[in-house]
Structure 1
Amino acid sequence: MAQHASQFTVNDNQRPRWMHWLNWGGRRLQKLGIQVAPLNEASLLAAAQKQSQLNDWGDESFRIGLQTLLTALNEEADLSLVGRLFLRSDLVRLLTNRLKIQETLKRHPEILDTPIHRPLIIMGLPRTGTTFLQRLLAQDPQFRWLRLWELLDPCPPPEQDAPKPDPRIQSAQKITQQYETLAPAFNTTHFIGAQQPEEGNILFEHAFATPLFELRAHVPSYRAWLRTQEMVSEYQYYRQQLQLLSWHWPGRWLLKAPSHIWWLDALTQVFPDACIIQTHRDPCTVLPSICSLATIARSIYTDQVDLHGIGQYWLEHLTAGYKRGRLFRKEVSTASICDVQYSELTQSPIETVQAIYKFFGDQLDQVTEQRMKQWLKANPQSKHGIHRYSLEQFGLTETEVKQQFP
């Protein structure tokens, strides 16, 4: 059933007036042949080298993904001035991080001997409860999970018992405040906080190989390229970053990224003892939810957001990921994957967690269970607002979606 337009969360996403004026100025400058915030490889690499005072890139295969992304951003994304400024800052940060990671691994090769044992990895289509489950399981002190601040700036490797708060926490808080200003409805769809658990997908940005870029911008040629990648080397680099982050902060990793469903073969090859959880939810709910999130995210980077175009884009994208994951599970029956239904997770979260622990041969003690119950009480589903959306809003129908997800 269609909802009234005013009830949709995307309609609450009222961007600040100065943003419209700045983007207007950017369009005027572009007509005069003046391009602010250039998104070209040479400029970005030079900026990262200057900022970090480093120049050893290590394995330079990442540049193929970077070049592909930049071409798509410049030719397909219809970026606004604010979008270009924001993306340029982001890309320079990622390149700077890559230089610092390379330098740290070069100075401390022993980092790559850091063990990663039986990581608990959550995956599934986006908007299927992966974030909720990760943050619930994060109440178990045995787990080491990724905080947003260390994802945004992994070097120097964080210390578990640092004598004072890491200054990177404050830097990450400024970034979350920027998101809140530029896309006011973003936290309703996906709450972000500097010290909140976040998805490991962000580390794949350092390899310029992740669907996260597609969430921000219309980049179909980049998506086409990404689908041809086997991703084994990218997952190996992901593992190296996890080793770096757990060097001075050990623990059993609790990780999540919906996009793992795309590359289960690479994931299980690089993490052969991984304990994998796959979440499931009605695709007729998943599709409009991810479309709503993408619409709000893209509003930061462009003034031209085509709702029906986003609907078709994500229908095709999620269908392809769903089929690839299903094919892997059919062909590789030895993979240790625990299935979790969204309805059961939200209605009976503690019982669902108990079932997960039992599946993998782990024990849920009473103290940890109580911590989880306290977290649930303090974090009701509507704590940051109610996310409202519909299939019709994005030009989709139940029949069309169900045909793609048998």
Structure 2
Amino acid sequence: MGRHLVCTILERNYKNSKLVLNYMASHPEVKMANNPLPHPLVVCGMPRTGSTLLYNLLACDPACRALLYAEMAQPVPPLARSDTTGQMQRNNSLQGFREMFITLGLNGHLRNMRASHPQLPYEEDLYFLYHTGYNWLHTMLASHDDNELLMWLENDINKKFIYEYHKIFIQMLNSIDAPSSHWLFKTPYHTLYLDEFMHHYPSAMLIMTHRRLDDALASMSRSASVYAAPYFDNNKADTAIDIQTVVKRILHLLDTLIHRLVKFRRNHPYIPCFDVQYDDLLAHPINTVRRIYNHFNLSWSEEFETTMSAWLRDNPQGKQGRNSYTLDNCEMTLDDIELRYNEYISMFLGSQHSLNIGCSMTKSADSMIHSLESPSEK
């Protein structure tokens, strides 16, 4: 069953990439038009740090353009948001994937996935990067730790095609339904290739979300386990070993992501970036968004604020369920984290959140990470 799911997803993503590229090839006027993309506002940083909440609040701005899950899952033909009939038809046609989960007896897994990451109309642009073969979850499912897919994903060389496709995709949507102010992107996994991303979007306004690493790592480990579970046979005696392998691999990927984030900020101190603390966001969500808009000199409106208030009222934390997690599942301690990620903590989680360029990165003897040691980030 797991192989069937992987093959179904791979086939769908390949089909979508082919549809997008063929559409753009048959509409050369889209790329030739002298209509530069508005400066994008980009939520990145670490996963499980409140980025989904922040993204959905930012998407409440009627002057911006966030990505709908439906238009990434079924992108051709591109539809304007005002095309309510077309949007409804597309949403109905996308029920097939959910029905497949139910038919395969995976409805319980689907509920767990929604508890880990709620199902909402707006989604992160990672979903159409899947069209390029960029899929972190599939690296978790390979049979060997030193699998080629994981090594390719973590290597930041030769990723130009990913963001060429990203820009082509956005140009396609922009030609049908452009924002009056800016595009809004979001995925923590842009952090793996921020230099390449900024090459394609040099005017991007970056927002990086941060949270205590013991919470962020434990939460992401739990999330990866939940998303990987449908691919394994729960009747096998070694399923728990398979899931623990997923945890080990996601921690390795997060290790690469953290080091690369630190390297990017150290090397590019003058790129516009706004840091958001998880606790601040939860305590003062609308004020946090207001500070972001002030920082980037974006226009605020009463309609925007009213829509955010309504969204917060209608989507309380845990509405679609909750997943519990502890650091014990990661086989790491607070001391391990503080030693290995000293520079990240100094940069973003200290009292002043200032760049401490003189810090050195100390590696712990943590077995979960050293069994798959990261490539040098020097």
CA shift for structure 1 position 258 = 0.4
Written as runs of structure 1 = structure 2, the 5 A alignment for 1:34-183 is 82-112=1-31, 113=33, 114-162=35-83, 164-166=85-87, 167-176=89-98, 178=100, 181=107, 183=109
Q: Which amino acid aligns with 1:257?
A: T
- Distance between the aligned counterparts of 1:127 and 1:353, measured in 2? 18
Asked if the contact 1:283/1:401 (under 8 Å) is kept, the reply is: yes
Q: Which amino acid aligns with 2:201?
A: F
Residue of structure 2 aligned with 1:391, choices 313, 324, 327? 327
- Distance between the aligned counterparts of 1:203 and 1:316, measured in 2? 24
Secondary structure of 2:274's match? strand
Written as runs of structure 1 = structure 2, the 5 A alignment for 1:6-405 is 82-112=1-31, 113=33, 114-162=35-83, 164-166=85-87, 167-176=89-98, 178=100, 181=107, 183=109, 184-193=111-120, 196-214=121-139, 220=145, 221=147, 222-230=149-157, 231-251=159-179, 252-303=182-233, 304-306=239-241, 307-405=243-341
Asked if the contact 1:216/1:294 (under 8 Å) is kept, the reply is: no
Secondary structure of 1:285's match? helix
Any idea what the Cα deviations from partners look like across 1:328-378, whole Å, max 9, x if unmatched?
111112211110001100111111011100110113222211211121111
Secondary structure of 2:231's match? coil
- Distance between the aligned counterparts of 1:247 and 1:175, measured in 2? 28
CA distance 1:176–1:253, shift in 2 (3 Å): farther
Any idea what the Cα deviations from partners look like across 1:13-55, whole Å, max 9, x if unmatched?
xxxxxxxxxxxxxxxxxxxxxxxxxxxxxxxxxxxxxxxxxxx
CA shift for structure 1 position 311 = 3.3
Asked if the contact 1:122/1:278 (under 8 Å) is kept, the reply is: yes
CA distance 1:394–1:323, shift in 2 (3 Å): closer
Secondary structure of 2:85's match? coil
Asked if the contact 1:299/1:305 (under 8 Å) is kept, the reply is: no
Asked if the contact 2:140/2:246 (under 8 Å) is kept, the reply is: no
CA shift for structure 1 position 219 = 6.6
CA distance 1:89–1:209, shift in 2 (3 Å): same
Q: Which residue of 2 aligns with 1:69?
A: none
Asked if the contact 1:232/1:266 (under 8 Å) is kept, the reply is: yes
CA distance 1:341–1:200, shift in 2 (3 Å): same
Asked if the contact 1:123/1:279 (under 8 Å) is kept, the reply is: yes
TM-score, normalisation: structure 2: 0.80
Q: Which amino acid aligns with 1:300?
A: P
Asked if the contact 1:148/1:172 (under 8 Å) is kept, the reply is: no
- Distance between the aligned counterparts of 2:6 and 2:246, measured in 1? 20
Secondary structure of 1:255's match? strand
Asked if the contact 1:287/1:311 (under 8 Å) is kept, the reply is: no
- Distance between the aligned counterparts of 1:404 and 1:171, measured in 2? 47
- Distance between the aligned counterparts of 1:141 and 1:401, measured in 2? 40
CA distance 1:86–1:391, shift in 2 (3 Å): same
| RMSD value, Cα | 1.9
- Distance between the aligned counterparts of 1:336 and 1:202, measured in 2? 25
- Distance between the aligned counterparts of 1:219 and 1:126, measured in 2? 24
- Distance between the aligned counterparts of 1:315 and 1:131, measured in 2? 20
TM-score, normalisation: structure 1: 0.75
Unaligned residue ranges in structure 1 (runs of 5+): 1-81
Unaligned residue ranges in structure 2 (runs of 5+): 234-238, 343-378
CA shift for structure 1 position 88 = 1.3
CA distance 1:137–1:176, shift in 2 (3 Å): farther
CA shift for structure 1 position 158 = 1.5
Alignment size in residue pairs: 323
Asked if the contact 1:319/1:404 (under 8 Å) is kept, the reply is: no
CA shift for structure 1 position 191 = 1.0
Greater Cα shift, 238-247 or 396-405: 396-405
